[in-house]
Structure 1
Amino acid sequence: MLKRFPFFLMLLVGLAVASCKDDEDKPPVTPAPDTVSFVATISGSQQVPLNASTATGAFTGTYDRTSKTLTYNVTFSGLTPTSGHIHLGGPGRTGGFKVPFNSLTSPITGSQVLDQQTADSLLAGRTYVNLHTTAFSGGEIRGNIQQGTTAPVPPVEFAALLTGGQQVPANGSRAGGALVAAYYPATRLLTYNVTFSGLTPTSGHIHLGGPGRTGGFKVPFNSLTSPITGSQVLDQQTADSLLAGRTYVNLHTAAFPGGEIRGNIRERRLGITLGASINSAQQVQPNASAATGTFTGTYDRTTSLLTYSVTYTGLTPMAGHIHLGGPGRTGGFKVPFNSLTSPITGSQVLDQQTADSLLTDRTYVNLHTTTFPGGEIRGDIKVK
């Protein structure tokens, strides 16, 4: 027994040496920094449910791990907050507030010692800053707080107006609706808010399919009461189709089981580019005129201002306007041209009906002549 002892002693020494060598081979552990920086962009598109507010803001902060103190700075414009807080909740989720703001004047600055739950949530990317207003008591603009010093890329915003005229085939329903949505590319999360009036849906979905086309649904709605709100992580096909402008929202009813109102979903931009080629073939009663023209325009969602330019050749207009009406349809004019010499340039603040029609490809430019008082050449205006 004693003869075996030196063998075990040598074995233990060998293991100890090997263990020490393993420790030497391991890279040194870098301690977590004592101070962590945070940042957020703040917008209505990050709200749950999201909204179309044009107000914006920014959040920056630092967290001291030793003292558990969060120091923050919040700036904003375009709204008058009634309250503001930092809440628990990751993107697309809501939670109770943990850090109330003592001031509501931009910039809002302050600091607070965090409890362990809030500190853990902050470090894990599961907190958000929220500014509440009278119009949006649940929050008008929100920013999902992330580690770093560079402002995170905000979600991609989408919008759609729902009408019977966008159905395939179109119908005469007078019901209407609107969708606003936000898409987070990193996680493929889509959050949405759909409002409607004038119908009682039996089902509702987001489908694959560009304007004038139909396809299967990918996002079913779990509620059918306005507003319909929800979120879903998209598969790659649906995400790609959304970004390419090939999805639509559809509300189905007993009278129209294939869909009563539809909205083609497009990226929501504050500055919208518009265009049209103008010729006689687009007249509802086509004629043989060889005159042609071009329309270009921009629409500012913030100010509702349409700025336009119209060029033409081959005719002498006696009047010119932008009218309500989709392809193959006619309607009253909403934007009269004050000049009739090419190029015709101008701008006008649009009422809501005209703006909605413009953004859903249901307006046209028309140049009228003595020979063709109902319009010699026409161009159906489309969002680019």
Structure 2
Amino acid sequence: MPKLPLYGYFLSQSVAVATLGIAMLAAMGNAPTSAIQLVFQADLTGSAESPANASAGTGTALITLDDIANTMRVQVNFSQLTGNTTAAHIHSATASAGTGTAGVATTTPTFPGFPTGVKSGSYDQTFNMLLSSSYNAAFITANGGTTSSAQTALFNGIQSGKAYFNIHTSSFSGGEIRGFLAPMSAPATGVPEPDSILGLIVGTGFLLGLTKKYKMQ
């Protein structure tokens, strides 16, 4: 088999690798975008209320935001409340992170299906944030007048630490236990960076080229 000059050989390998890289990056561009999910947690207590109270009730709220699917998952567990539950909401946005009060941002009079008339319970519901039913109508009006602008405002409020989860009861109409939402985990995405893929392609091509070079000698 005739041997190519060294520079000609590596030139042919580079062209092949570049062609493969372009094809793979083009395929990535046509692939559906992977969702980015952000998870926030709030520890719910009476001492975190405004004003604070001496309730022995406790709870945890997990809020998962998906800015591609435009959804918000609400998971809550609570127990040992003084009064029976009457409503639960996310309030946003306070003037300062981690303190103060704000109006109700989510569905009124309460999250649909949230257990009422109990002192302990759990809840798990995913909301389509492009539906007006996922919000307090007043929150939409105050934040641009559309569900898209309301979603942006609510997600921003949560991410900036200015939103809190509040459980209201018959003993504390303004809220028996609450907690400000804080990041629980880093953003997760299933799509690798294009630069990483291209680097892998080039590196693989170089190694294959060296292997073929020695076989040709």
Shift of 1:127: 0.8
Q: Which residue of the partner structure matches residue 44 of structure 1?
A: 46
Q: Distance in 2 between matches of 1:103 and 1:74?
A: 12
Query: Which has the higher Rg, Structure 1 or Structure 2?
Result: 1
Shift of 1:38: 1.0
Matched, 1:141 2:177: yes
* Greater relative contact order, per chain length (Cα 8 Å cut-off, separation 6+): 2
TM (norm. structure 2) is: 0.51
Q: Which residue of the partner structure matches residue 55 of structure 1?
A: 57
Matched, 1:112 2:116: no
Which of 73, 76, 79 does residue 78 from structure 2 map onto? Answer: 76
In terms of fraction of residues, the more strand-rich structure is 1
Q: Secondary structure at the match of 1:46?
A: coil
Q: Distance in 2 between matches of 1:120 and 1:61?
A: 13
Q: Which residue of the partner structure matches residue 102 of structure 2?
A: 95
Q: Distance in 2 between matches of 1:125 and 1:137?
A: 24
Where does structure 1 lack aligned partners over 5 or more consecutive residues? 1-32, 150-384
Contact 1:82/1:104 (<8 A) preserved: no
> When the two structures are aligned, how many residues end up with a matched partner?
119
Percentage of identical aligned residues = 32
Q: Which residue of the partner structure matches residue 157 of structure 2?
A: 121
Shift of 1:112: 2.3
Shift of 1:69: 1.2
Q: Distance in 1 between matches of 2:71 and 2:176?
A: 27
Contact 2:90/2:106 (<8 A) preserved: yes
Deviant stretches of 4+, over 3 Å? none
TM (norm. structure 1) is: 0.29
Please tell me the residue identity of whatever aligns with 1:91.
Answer: G
Q: Secondary structure at the match of 2:170?
A: coil
**38-47 vs 102-111, which moves further:** 102-111
Q: C-alpha offsets along residues 12-57 of structure 1, whole Å, 9 cap, x if unaligned?
A: xxxxxxxxxxxxxxxxxxxxx7111111110001101111111000
Please tell me the residue identity of whatever aligns with 1:92.
Answer: T
Contact 1:55/1:76 (<8 A) preserved: yes
Q: Secondary structure at the match of 2:85?
A: coil
Q: Secondary structure at the match of 1:107?
A: strand
Q: Which residue of the partner structure matches residue 64 of structure 1?
A: 66
Contact 2:85/2:167 (<8 A) preserved: yes
Please tell me the residue identity of whatever aligns with 1:86.
Answer: I
Contact 2:99/2:162 (<8 A) preserved: no
| Alignment of structure 1 residues 70-219 onto 2, 5 Å | 70-79=72-81, 80-88=84-92, 89=94, 90-100=97-107, 101-105=111-115, 106-114=121-129, 115-149=151-185
Q: Distance in 1 between matches of 2:39 and 2:184?
A: 5
Q: Distance in 2 between matches of 1:51 and 1:92?
A: 15
